Amino acid sequence: MSISLLSFKPGHDGSIAYIADKRLVFSYEAEKDSFPRYYPTTPDLLVQAGALVDATPDVICISGWIKGFHSVETPLSAGYYGFDHSHTQISKTRFFGKELEVFSSTHERSHIMCGYGLSPFEQGEPCYVLVWEGNIGDFYEVDEAVTVHHLGRVLEDPGNKYSFLFSIGDPKFPPLKAHHRFEDAGKLMALAAFSDRKPATDEERELIESILAKKSILLSTSKHEFRDYQVYNAGVESDIFKNVAGKFSDALFDRFYRFAKDHLPKRLPLIITGGCGLNCEWNSKWRDCGLFRDVFVPPCTNDTGSAIGTAVDAQLYYEHNAKISWTVYSGQEFEDDMPVGAPYVKQEFSYSAIADFLSSNRVLAWVQGRCEMGPRALGNRSILASPLDPQMHKRLNQIKEREAYRPIAPVCLESEAARISTSGLPSPHMLYFYSITTSALPAITHCDGSARLQTVTEDDNGRLFGLLQAFKQKTGFGVLCNTSLNFKGRGFINRTSDLFAYCDDKLIDGIVIGDQFYVRCDVDSIYSSEQDITESESVTTVA
């Protein structure tokens, strides 16, 4: 019988994961259920997790962290840095009246082992690992014995440097050292697509090289040091900023690509982990660069996967096995804490009826089963809508209270991907960009013609697959807009009371919870009024 492991990730993106019999039983994230994004582990999360653990676990695992906010501060447990087991700590404790062991390995190893444990590559098959996140920017090789070899540090603070550029252009960002906003990296990724991508001017090159050369950029540098550059406080939607955003993104990636080309000659599979693994443009470049036999990015590539990674590391330590079975839908169950009432009226549930509803440009809150692990909505806590009307892009960003330049991602039948895009590969976790090859889907096509595509099969998600099939029969396209179901700045909605409050406030047209379908009784008048407001406006979404 395999051991059971209950694992905790301290600090931001807090989570609790449980592995038993080499299977991920759950990964509960603190931000889910409408807590603030990037929230630390809470007592409420521990109570939820404890309800699913039938007996005291054999081992408690703690992902190494720091006592503070920056990676150089006093270590917590095994600490932040360290790629091998020299920093691993084993101790004894009493936990709910039982004597058991506490295992802790570093935050750096949590990324490596999360990616390795979830990857489709067999144990014993050597592979490369790239960890690039706020502080770490390093390559590794994992050999046949699952020993990690450090191949080199490419760049300190890649994620922090990436988001730092956003602060320089944003006049609302204060000129303070050690100030940071997690959400800026995703916004910069969207803005980079607007860049003209022409060769950098002398000033742009100087700015880019200066940022990349900074040591401990958050602690050492204020944006005010860049006040003499044109981009300083120019506004993130200015052409000056958009152009340098794309060039900076390319320059940062090129540092890592050149290192890989020079130092990773074996054409092994590549595993990408760390928060920079959420950058779909970079993932696509790695996939297409030809240096690696295969590329894998876990859906919880950021710190939401650290609890899993430390549990996998403990399983390797105790059982010499670093592989687990898992599904992306390993988060919390939905809490039905109140009935859905007026102004929503229950309708007969059928994929055909819901497809008709969506094809009439209605917006739907779609809730199924357990929520997704990681930050991407993958069809269990989603807002769905038709991609055929360009105005839908604007409406969804208004509902989400997001900037107009932010793209809306599509979800499609895997069999549709090659017909609508340059993709012929599965993309179940929405982690790559593909070029859209039809003008019929303006709501999900970004300014550069790209889309962050999620593909679905019946085995991946049966109900979402059924809806996409019905929508294809109705419209000719098995594609929908898919964005996360959450309050601004909060994790996924996970209870009926929050869902109802959100949908009523945002005038969401319909709600599906499992096999229960509800339609807002005044939906026709709401949509008509929105049509009147927007019919004279134009939104360009196709390059």
Q: What is the DSSP string of 385-440?
A: E-SS-THHHHHHHHHHT--TTS---EEEEGGGHHHHBS--S--TTS--EEEB--TT
Q: Tokens 């660069």 correspond to what residue?
A: 289
> Do residues 356 and 499 share a domain?
yes
> Do residues 291 and 403 share a domain?
no
C-alpha 149: how far from its chain's center? Answer: 27
> Do residues 145 and 183 share a domain?
yes
Residues 398-431, buried b or exposed e (16+ Cβ, 10 A)?
Answer: ebbebeebbbbbbbbbbebbeebbbbeeebbbbb
The Cα 133–Cα 81 span in angstroms is 12
Confirm whether 468 is domain-assigned. Answer: yes
Considering 297, 312, 330, which residue would you say is the last residue of a domain? 297
Confirm whether 327 is domain-assigned. Answer: no
> Do residues 246 and 271 share a domain?
yes
> Do residues 153 and 23 share a domain?
no
Confirm whether 335 is domain-assigned. Answer: no
Which residue type is seen at 394?
K
> Do residues 115 and 137 share a domain?
no
Angle formed at CA 178 by CA 173 and CA 183, multiple of 5 degrees = 55
User: In terms of residue numbers, what domain contains 498?
Assistant: 344-534
Question: Is residue 496 within 8 Å of residue 338, measured between CB atoms?
Answer: yes
C-alpha 437: how far from its chain's center? Answer: 25
Confirm whether 541 is domain-assigned. Answer: no
Confirm whether 333 is domain-assigned. Answer: no
Q: How do strand 364-367 and strand 510-513 relate by DSSP bridges?
A: parallel
Q: What total number of domains does the chain contain?
A: 3
Task: Give me Rg for the CA atoms of the chain.
Answer: 23
> Do residues 181 and 255 share a domain?
yes
> Do residues 152 and 282 share a domain?
yes
Confirm whether 337 is domain-assigned. Answer: no
Phi, psi of 450, deg, nearest 5:
-95, 165
> Do residues 396 and 437 share a domain?
yes
> Do residues 351 and 493 share a domain?
yes
> Do residues 385 and 492 share a domain?
yes
In this structure, what CATH number is given to the domain that contains residue 89?
3.30.420.40
Confirm whether 228 is domain-assigned. Answer: yes
Confirm whether 329 is domain-assigned. Answer: no
According to the model, what pLDDT value does residue 1 have?
66
> Do residues 11 and 151 share a domain?
no
The Cα 107–Cα 80 span in angstroms is 5
In this structure, what CATH number is given to the domain that contains residue 511?
3.90.870.20
pTM recorded for the entire structure: 0.95
* Residues of the chain below pLDDT 70: 1, 523-543
